[in-house]
Amino acid sequence: MHTVVVGTSGVTASDVLAVARDGARVELSAEAVAALAAAREIVDALAAKPDPVYGVSTGFGALATRHISTELRAQLQRNIVRSHAAGMGPRVEREVVRALMFLRLKTVCSGHTGVRPEVAQTMADVLNAGITPVVHEYGSLGCSGDLAPLSHCALTLMGEGDAEGPDGVVRPAGELLAQHGIEAVELREKEGLALLNGTDGMLGMLIMALADLDTLYKSADITAALSMEGLLGTDKVLAPELHAIRPHPGQAASAANMLAVLKDSQLTGHHQDDAPRVQDAYSVRCAPQVAGAGRDTMAHARLVAERELAAAVDNPVVLPDGRVESNGNFHGAPVAYVLDFLAIAAADLASIAERRTDRLLDKNRSHGLPPFLADDAGVDSGLMIAQYTQAALVSEMKRLAVPASADSIPSSAMQEDHVSMGWSAARKLRTAVDNLTRVVAVELYAATRAVELREGLTPAPASRAVIEAVRKAGVQGPGPDRFLAPDLAAADAFVRSGQLVAAAESVTGPLQ
């Protein structure tokens, strides 16, 4: 099994994906253990002094003015975890919780939190045992970080609350720890706060969304190319020299992908022989511009994620010179913004894909295709309602594109009076990505059928490879009406699994 070693300088996106989705093991580097011990010495020294230090010998948030006596500090750390584990609603997905825990461990190992090495080791042990704390949908305002979700994870470290075992059964966390030989931690000064105060949930969901969108944007380029063939559009608009004079890198990449898929097609531009069109519709002609803008938005989001992966997000933080300073680095605004940006881009990509699908089904705009791609229009409805489903998905994605980060609700008696709502931005982005997969699947279903209905004209080799693969995957071709939901589900699985990209790349080579 792959092992991810956590040091003091952060982790990579591939590390997060390996732990969250693939169950990779986690180890602490010797450097991290040394940094943890050194920072803990500083916290212990401050705890022994009479002067109040936030998070070490005071209350939290609006209660930070109270100095906590030595005998109450362990209780203070337990209490902050218990009281902050106040989530409600459905359970959050296992991969999100594993990303959340792993990214908090990443910050702990930076040596800036003051957590003892044994607490960090317990975090790694819980991940390695496949124990997943029960975390709920609601409870985070994204400032100070993802408090409630992280608190439910910290509760598991204490042997309290509920967690899911590797067998998928939810049981009391204490039982699961004992079953795997893991000793529950007794939190000391600063440790409870350090386990709760980070942007780890929203960052983990950003990283996973970027990985999924990377495949989806390639998939959308492929389906746009197939739709262009089905509509007998012209690929002249994809010429590299046209995109060079508007030098957005994402636009050039999408155009190059479409051109690669369409190489040697006998369908593109065919309309100029018998039914001239000066230009194709925007949904066909401007496909690279729209998908490209989304790709460039992803590039910015990836830069933000990389910076956050290298960050130590906590409050207060232990600095190398021995100071323990309060700060605002836990605020989720940088991550929240890009999560919202990605939801906007995903909605627009879905919107243009749906317009191409609708054009394929409309006999007045499809340039010779049968109405709704039906076998016997009137007796058969063809893909009429598949487009309804696609339109419903796009409509929801437009609602999900409303920014969460533009909202703020004050909390903690106005101490935390401006919050990021980054967790909410991440949760709706996950839904948007899920819906975008379905939207692309419907376009794939319609476009492959349209290409096959162009009898006497040979599609591009890459298109033929996609059609052959999707038919083998259980997505049926043209013919009389049938139960459509299973076909759409098979098309969705074909896109979601990456088989669409793999089929095209078997001819084109790696797409951008």
Average pLDDT per run of 10 along the chain, which is 512 residues long?
Answer: 94 98 98 96 86 73 72 86 96 98 97 96 98 97 91 98 98 98 95 93 98 98 98 95 98 98 91 66 97 98 97 90 88 96 98 98 95 97 98 98 95 88 97 98 98 95 98 97 98 98 98 98
| Model confidence, pTM | 0.95
**Cβ neighbours of residue 303 closer than 8 Å, sequence gap 6 or more:** none
Dist CA 20 CA 7 (whole Å): 18
How much is the pLDDT for 414? 86
Cα distances (angstroms) measured from residue 211 to each of 207, 217, 302, 351: 6, 10, 10, 21
**Dihedral (Cα; 511, 217, 499, 439), 10-degree rounding:** -150
Task: Please list the active-site residues.
Answer: 54
How much is the pLDDT for 56? 76
The proportion of the chain whose per-residue pLDDT surpasses 90, expressed as a percent, equals 85
Cα distances (angstroms) measured from residue 351 to each of 125, 199, 435: 45, 31, 11
Element (H, E) at 136: strand 136-138
How much is the pLDDT for 60? 64
Dist CA 412 CA 405 (whole Å): 19
Dist CA 98 CA 26 (whole Å): 11
How far apart are the two ends of the chain, measured CA to CA in Å?
30
**Cβ neighbours of residue 106 closer than 8 Å, sequence gap 6 or more:** 6, 10, 11, 309
Do residues 353 and 320 lie in contact, with contact meaning Cβ atoms separated by under 8 Å? no
How much is the pLDDT for 468? 98
- In the chain, the amino acid numbered 461 is P
Dist CA 469 CA 259 (whole Å): 20
DSSP reduced 3-state for 248: coil
* Phi, psi (rounded to 5 degrees) for 5: -100, 125
How much is the pLDDT for 203? 98
Cα distances (angstroms) measured from residue 5 to each of 8, 57, 154, 251: 10, 33, 21, 37
Identify the sign of the CA torsion 212, 217, 218, 222.
Answer: positive
How much is the pLDDT for 482? 96
Do residues 243 and 291 lie in contact, with contact meaning Cβ atoms separated by under 8 Å? no
Q: What is the CA radius of gyration of the chain?
A: 26
307-343 burial string, b = 16+ CB within 10 Å, else e? ebbebbbbbbbbeeeeebeeeebbbbbbbbbbbbbbb
Do residues 174 and 182 lie in contact, with contact meaning Cβ atoms separated by under 8 Å? no
Q: How many CB atoms lie within 10 A of CB 99?
A: 24
Q: Is the peptide bond before 144 cis (omega within 30 degrees of 0)?
A: yes
Dist CA 431 CA 370 (whole Å): 34
Burial class, 273, CB count within 10 angstroms (exposed 0-12 / middle 13-18 / buried 19+): exposed
Q: How many CB atoms lie within 10 A of CB 260?
A: 22
Q: Is the peptide bond before 510 cis (omega within 30 degrees of 0)?
A: no
- What tokens were used for 201? 């949930």
How much is the pLDDT for 74? 83
Q: What is the DSSP letter of 4?
A: E
How much is the pLDDT for 68? 75
**Dihedral (Cα; 302, 307, 312, 313), 10-degree rounding:** -60
How much is the pLDDT for 276? 61
How much is the pLDDT for 69? 80
Dist CA 385 CA 483 (whole Å): 11
Dist CA 221 CA 223 (whole Å): 6
Dist CA 435 CA 429 (whole Å): 10
**25-28 and 3-6 beta bridge pairing:** parallel
**25-28 and 170-172 beta bridge pairing:** unpaired
Dist CA 184 CA 447 (whole Å): 56
How much is the pLDDT for 145? 82
Cα distances (angstroms) measured from residue 240 to each of 220, 245, 289: 19, 9, 13
Cα distances (angstroms) measured from residue 394 to each of 204, 388, 427, 491: 25, 10, 17, 17
